[in-house]
Chains A and B, each alone.
Chain A
Amino acid sequence: QQPVQSPQAVILREGEDAVINCSSSKALYSVHWYRQKHGEAPVFLMILLKGGEQKGHEKISASFNEKKQQSSLYLTASQLSYSGTYFCGTGSNNAGNMLTFGGGTRLMVKP
């Protein structure tokens, strides 16, 4: 079942912060975050693993609550380049990137 992302869309001014949430009804092994700009390929941001390990970019932070099967992506001091659609993908094992993606959160950062 597809994870649910919230909000569906958000508009920010440069320098403002945002939180994007991802919630699943299934037990999760991992949560993967990607950003996709219009007409481009999804680009990796972060992986959060059961047990607390994280792999990703230093300027992006995220949390993973295994009990609640939820993850949140924190975007601080947003820049124009942060604009795009953010997807969370959930994995049920460590066998690879066979992910179930949410419907996305559209983020627009204005000057």
Chain B
Amino acid sequence: DTGVSQNPRHKITKRGQNVTFRCDPISEHNRLYWYRQTLGQGPEFLTYFQNEAQLEKSRLLSDRFSAERPKGSFSTLEIQRTEQGDSAMYLCASSPVGGLTEAFFGQGTRLTVV
């Protein structure tokens, strides 16, 4: 297992376009998280899945953002009508179910909206 994989690693898009990112968690991990990180800041929680169910969504997440995890495996995060303020690193993390355990982060997708 090579860990949490995210694609693409970099994405440049024009304002107003839609973008979709993919996260492949560690195979036996039931829990999957999306975070956003801007330069010089800590990661900011966006949403959480346990298997295919989206159990938590940050109030900061606008309705332009949607995430899915069909069949409880990989996950996608879509941003519609991108804005310059969406420019950030989007991090995915996974962890096994059962109490609190370490989360394994992927290397992220860096989004630049021009």
Say whether A and B bind each other.
yes
Interface on A for B, CB 8 Å cutoff? 2, 30, 32, 34, 40-44, 47, 49, 55, 87, 89, 91, 94-104
| Alpha-carbon distance A47/B105, docked complex (angstroms) | 15
Are B42 and A97 in contact, with the CB atoms below 8 A? no
Taking A41-B91, A41-B105, A42-B91 as contacts, is the C-beta distance between A97 and B43 under 8 angstroms? no
Of B31, B42, B55, B100, which is within 8 A of A49 by CB? Answer: B100
Sample of 21 A–B contacts (CB below 8 Å): A32-B100, A32-B102, A34-B105, A41-B106, A41-B107, A41-B108, A42-B105, A47-B101, A55-B101, A87-B43, A96-B48, A96-B56, A96-B95, A97-B33, A97-B103, A98-B33, A98-B56, A99-B43, A101-B42, A103-B40, A104-B42
Q: Which residues of A contact B55 (CB under 8 A)?
A: 95-96
Question: Taking the complex as formed, is B28 at the interface, i.e. its CB lies under 8 A from any CB of chain A?
Answer: no
